[in-house]
Amino acid sequence: MVEHLPLDLPDDPKLAGNITHFARALRRAGLPIGPGRVIDAIRAVEAAGFSNKPDFYWTLHACFVNRPEHRRVFAQLFRLYWRDPRYLEHMMAAMLPAVRGVQEDRPAQAAEKRAAEALLDGAEGPERGEEDERPDEDTVIEVDASFTMSSSERLRSLDFEQMSLAEMAEAKRMLARITLPVKPLPSRRGMAAANGRIDAARSLRAALRRGGEMQQLAFKKPRPRYPNLVVLCDISGSMSQYSRVILHFLHAVSNAKGAGWAQVHGFTFGTRLTNITRHLATRDVDAALAAAGAEAQDWEGGTRIGASIEAFNRDWSRRVLGQGAVVLLITDGLDRDRPEELARHMQRLHLTARRLIWLNPLLRWDGFAPKAAGIRAMLPHVDSFRAGHSIASLEELAQVISRPDDVGEKARLMAAAHQP
């Protein structure tokens, strides 16, 4: 039984209280901080002194941060919390948009919003319109789909609207539910097994230990290996409602430990193909999405699916599909290029991929029919065609991704496409 020593807290009860409150704010921002670490932090501050701000910062940093991805959240919170003693009233009065404070023109840093919300103790911020579903102006897809595409290529770098805490929690819950279980493939590397092919080397080695007596044969079987996942995500204007969510999902999948995928490669395309694999490896979702957004210059511009797939085939397919990868193509298929070109590039992609699964958010309409030429060109060249507009549809995807015989809605739509 440990004898509890009386807590020897510093004379200034306000400081201890402040540190405690700060720790609670950090906890709400997602850092795993228990009361033990709060006590440590108070003691550490006492030991290190409270004379200058950098020392104080690094003292708390040493106690509260134990993962690189938490550094940013900590920095933001510290900046907000210890800037002004009357910060809280100030913040409550000003609400979220004013968190950006003095430099109104500066775009919000990654994790800043999370930090602010954590400080505000879950106070609701103003509603953000982009979360709402855009009302479907017309539930019929026009063949030329002109309302979704701008005639001029709108090339610009767009800062992702940062995730709020609620979204983050939802994404984490989603992540806990959705993994993409994948069937292992046999590799050329062997492993010891109770039965299988005879492992001559091991049998003889065992026999040598017994002075050349062959008592028992050793066997080996192929060691399982997991395929790579390659995700091609359309980020053009017509897909803007989904691409962010899908990228979140993608980030979750690529950071899910032990999900089975050997490697996850991510590409975004609108008018141009961008490899965002490295950014997906950034563990902080905000930072990863911000980096990917900076990289993809054509966020919400027009769509050139054919050209993008051609670029992928030319520059990347042999580099990332070499070991038999499952390809997830996430696009609505509304393309302005020539359909026969598109069909040719799709065919090549189909032939080089182990499996090609097309997720199409437009499938959420029951009356969806493949009227657009692009969709009709692409449809014959995919293994499976599924909806991809909601968590439910992603859950379905998780169930079918390792079933090689699954074709999703493809058969139904192929039949529909051939009707006069």
Partner 1 sequence: MTEMTSIDAVQKMLGDQGYICGRDLGTVVFLSLRLGRPLFLEGEAGVGKTEIAKALAAGLNRKLIRLQCYEGLDASSAVYEWNFPAQMVAIRAAEAAGGADTEALTADLFSDKYLIERPLLEAMRPDENGAPILLIDELDRTDAPFEAFLLEALSDFQVTIPEMGTINAPEPPIVILTSNRTREVHDALKRRCLYHWVDYPDFDREMEILQARAPEAAEKLSREVVAFVQLLRTEDLFKKPGVAETIDWAKCLLALDVINLSPEVIADTLGAILKYQDDIAKLQGSEAKRILDQAKASLEPV
Of 242-250, 316-324, 330-338, 409-417, which part binds partner 1 (CB under 8 A)?
Answer: 316-324
Work out how close the CB of 278 gets to partner 1 at its nearest, in angstroms, rounded to a whole number: 10
Interface with partner 1 includes 4 (CB under 8 A)? no
Enumerate the H helices of 120-219 as residue ranges.
Answer: 165-177, 200-209
Number of residues this chain uses to bind partner 1 (CB under 8 A): 22
Q: Most distant CA pair in the chain: distance in Å?
A: 85
Positions in 250-289 near partner 1 (CB under 8 A):
262
Positions in 221-240 near partner 1 (CB under 8 A):
225
How many angstroms separate the CA atoms of 245 and 225, rounded?
A: 29
Work out how close the CB of 324 gets to partner 1 at its nearest, in angstroms, rounded to a whole number: 11
Work out how close the CB of 179 gets to partner 1 at its nearest, in angstroms, rounded to a whole number: 21
Interface with partner 1 includes 420 (CB under 8 A)? no
How many angstroms separate the CA atoms of 287 and 289, rounded?
A: 6
Q: What is the residue whose two structure tokens read 């020392």?
A: 55
**Of positions 143, 204, 217, 411, contacts partner 1 by CB under 8 A:** 204
**What's the burial of 408, exposed, middle or buried (CB within 10 Å: 0-12/13-18/19+)?**
buried
Q: Which amino acid is at 76?
A: Q
Interface with partner 1 includes 200 (CB under 8 A)? yes
Interface with partner 1 includes 189 (CB under 8 A)? yes
Interface with partner 1 includes 393 (CB under 8 A)? no
| CA-to-CA separations, 359 to 236, 262, 405, in angstroms, rounded | 15, 21, 16
Q: Which CB, 134 or 188, lies closer to partner 1?
A: 188
Work out how close the CB of 175 gets to partner 1 at its nearest, in angstroms, rounded to a whole number: 25
Number of H-type helices and E-type strands within the chain: 17, 9
Interface with partner 1 includes 308 (CB under 8 A)? no
Of 70-78, 99-107, 317-325, 405-413, which part binds partner 1 (CB under 8 A)?
Answer: 317-325
**What's the burial of 295, exposed, middle or buried (CB within 10 Å: 0-12/13-18/19+)?**
middle
Compute the residue count for the chain.
Answer: 420
Q: Which residues bind partner 1 (CB under 8 A)?
A: 187-190, 200-201, 204-205, 207-208, 211-212, 225, 262, 313-314, 318-320, 322-323, 348
